């Protein structure tokens, strides 16, 4: 077995989270015995990444098991795995399992893909720090000072958490500084999205009884899932390329019609999903910007929903006063006797207020500005001009085949990007049901012959 030399069909995948596993398993479906796939993962754990390394039992997936198969053309794959591993435990596939369990599934997917024809898959616990594209291939420079030569490389480096807020005083859930708290202590959580729900779940598991103040700019809470079928929407009825104002009105009318017939708004959100990438691509840049600025928070809470039991627990805690949800801007933090003093400015208000709490949890979302990336590989690519931000500055610029676009607009024939970093082109590319489709398509194009470079 040889993994050296770009003349062989060698592909290096950088990142062994969900996207890295999904692209590797798609590539390894190809029967070519000469194919060689290397997956690099700096954390040493394959299939986990940011989402599926979650520790707690109740840090759960937000897509039912029936939607989480690694293969779009075999939608029952994850459900069959679950039934094999836990016979009789789950009644049906509308179940939201622990994220760490899903990470185990992905690890199995990768192992099984490698075993299909032994000797073609290699996994390395290494960090890639630089990439050099040559006329005949790609050199992947590793943090240990060595390099790998390959014909093509795929960046599946995924998410970066936002730089910590609160001058090192605020704490990330699950970090070393997340030490046990007095269960009656007052806690503040910054952010009201899915990471806040993780923090709330961790506090509940620790039997926390004290008040929890959740602070976010918009004060919006994710909505709950319900087992409803997606509405069947004809592509001809979707207003591609119209203004955001028109689309919003069309969407609201469709929801009103559906609910008037006894249906559920979720079926409209899910029915539109197959068209989301096309809709995004049909807007000019100014409409995309308007969407990101004004509608994204609202869209996110309806699109990325919570398992119903978790949502009900949170709503109960709000109703009984334990959790207080504040629409406010977090403006500062300092150490105070017995804890920390946080300063916030309620939405629409001019004055700030302070709040003394035992701990502030930082549950900000993911960072999307690649120019400020903490990932040495992304920094290297952007600084050398081999990559550039997409026009919305929410990821890397790629073409319609997920090929990396350089600062001067050159489309790489050897470097591809999969997963959330391609959100500038696709927008709806955060979750497994979308990433698996993208990975299947990128695998197909990677296995096609590479044209000679000019």
Which residues contribute to the site for ligand FAD (CB under 6 A)?
Answer: 14-20, 40-43, 49-51, 61-63, 99, 127-128, 156-159, 194-195, 375, 377, 419-420, 430-432
In whole angstroms, the minimum distance from the beta carbon of 123 to ligand FAD comes to 11
**Cα atoms found within 13 Å of the Cα of residue 186, Cβ hemisphere only:** 11
Structure tokens at 125: 């616990």
Residue number, 41 or 328, with CB nearest to ligand FAD? 41
Are residues 157 and 13 in contact, defined by beta-carbon separation less than 8 angstroms? no
In whole angstroms, the minimum distance from the beta carbon of 403 to ligand FAD comes to 17
In whole angstroms, the minimum distance from the beta carbon of 192 to ligand FAD comes to 14
Are residues 28 and 122 in contact, defined by beta-carbon separation less than 8 angstroms? no
Q: Kindly tell me the sign of the dihedral angle through the C-alpha atoms of 63, 69, 70, 75.
A: negative
Give dist(CA 296, CA 271) in Å, integer.
18
In whole angstroms, the minimum distance from the beta carbon of 182 to ligand FAD comes to 27
The DSSP output letter for 370 is: G
Residue number, 160 or 254, with CB nearest to ligand FAD? 160
The CA angle 324-325-330, to the nearest 5 degrees, is 110
In whole angstroms, the minimum distance from the beta carbon of 98 to ligand FAD comes to 10
Residue number, 43 or 136, with CB nearest to ligand FAD? 43
Report CA-CA distances (Å) from 209 to 182, 304, 354, 360. 9, 28, 22, 16
Residue number, 19 or 202, with CB nearest to ligand FAD? 19
Give dist(CA 97, CA 403) in Å, integer.
34
Residue number, 43 or 367, with CB nearest to ligand FAD? 43
Are residues 365 and 357 in contact, defined by beta-carbon separation less than 8 angstroms? no
**DSSP per-residue letters across 211-244:** -EEEEESS-----B----PPP---GGGS-TTS-H
In whole angstroms, the minimum distance from the beta carbon of 421 to ligand FAD comes to 8
Residue number, 263 or 308, with CB nearest to ligand FAD? 308
Residues 6+ apart with CB under 8 A from 227: 64, 94
Residue number, 20 or 339, with CB nearest to ligand FAD? 20
192-216 burial: b if 16+ Cβ within 10 Å, else e: bbbbbbbbbbbbbeeebeeebbbbb
Residue number, 58 or 430, with CB nearest to ligand FAD? 430
In whole angstroms, the minimum distance from the beta carbon of 139 to ligand FAD comes to 14
Residue number, 25 or 258, with CB nearest to ligand FAD? 25
**DSSP per-residue letters across 52-63:** TT--STT-B-SS
In whole angstroms, the minimum distance from the beta carbon of 48 to ligand FAD comes to 6
Please measure the distance between the N-terminal and C-terminal CA atoms of the chain and give it in whole angstroms: 31
For 98: left if phi > 0, alpha if psi spans -120 to 50, otherwise beta; the answer is: beta
In whole angstroms, the minimum distance from the beta carbon of 296 to ligand FAD comes to 15
In whole angstroms, the minimum distance from the beta carbon of 181 to ligand FAD comes to 21
Residue number, 42 or 328, with CB nearest to ligand FAD? 42
Give dist(CA 298, CA 304) in Å, integer.
10
């Amino acid at each position: 077995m040889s993994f050296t030399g770009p003349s062989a069909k060698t592909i290096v995948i950088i990142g062994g989270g969900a996207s890295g596993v999904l692209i590797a398993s798609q590539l390894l479906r190809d029967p070519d015995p000469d194919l060689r796939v290397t997956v690099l993962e700096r954390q040493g754990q394959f299939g986990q990444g940011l989402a599926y390394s979650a520790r707690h039992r109740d840090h759960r997936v937000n897509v039912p098991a029936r939607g989480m198969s690694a293969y779009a053309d075999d939608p029952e794959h994850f459900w069959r795995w679950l039934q094999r591993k836990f016979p009789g435990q789950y009644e049906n596939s509308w179940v939201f399992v622990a994220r760490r369990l899903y990470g185990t599934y992905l690890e199995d997917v990768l192992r099984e893909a490698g075993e299909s024809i032994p000797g073609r898959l290699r996994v390395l616990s290494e960090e890639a720090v630089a990439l050099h594209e040559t006329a005949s291939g790609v050199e992947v420079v590793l943090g240990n000072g060595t390099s790998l030569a390959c014909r093509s490389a795929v960046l599946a480096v995924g998410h970066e958490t936002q730089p910590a807020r609160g001058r090192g005083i605020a704490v990330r859930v699950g970090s070393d500084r997340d030490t046990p708290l007095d269960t009656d202590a007052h806690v503040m959580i910054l952010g009201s999205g899915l990471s806040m729900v993780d923090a709330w779940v961790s506090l509940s598991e620790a039997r926390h009884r004290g008040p929890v103040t959740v602070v976010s700019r918009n004060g919006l809470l994710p909505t709950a899932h319900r087992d409803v079928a997606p509405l069947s929407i004809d592509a001809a009825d979707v207003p591609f390329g119209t203004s955001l104002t028109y689309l919003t009105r069309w969407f609201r009318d469709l929801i009103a019609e559906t609910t008037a017939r006894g249906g559920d708004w979720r079926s409209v959100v899910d029915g539109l999903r197959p068209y989301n990438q096309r809709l995004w691509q049909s807007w000019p840049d100014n409409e995309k910007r308007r969407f990101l600025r004004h509608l994204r928070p609202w869209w996110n809470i309806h699109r990325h929903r919570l398992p119903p039991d978790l949502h009900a627990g949170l709503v109960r805690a709000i109703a009984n006063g334990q959790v207080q949800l504040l629409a406010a801007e977090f403006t500062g933090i300092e150490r105070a006797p017995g804890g920390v003093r946080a300063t916030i400015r309620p939405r629409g208000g001019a004055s700030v207020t302070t709040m003394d709490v035992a701990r502030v949890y930082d549950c900000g979302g993911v960072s999307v500005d690649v120019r400020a990336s903490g990932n040495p590989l992304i920094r290297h690519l952007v600084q050398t001009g081999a990559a550039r931000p997409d026009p919305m500055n929410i990821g890397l610029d790629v073409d319609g085949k997920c090929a990396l676009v350089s600062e001067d607009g050159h489309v790489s024939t050897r470097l591809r990007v999969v997963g959330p970093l391609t959100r500038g082109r696709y927008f709806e590319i955060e979750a497994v049901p979308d990433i698996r489709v993208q990975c299947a398509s990128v695998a197909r194009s990677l296995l096609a012959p590479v044209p000679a470079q000019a």
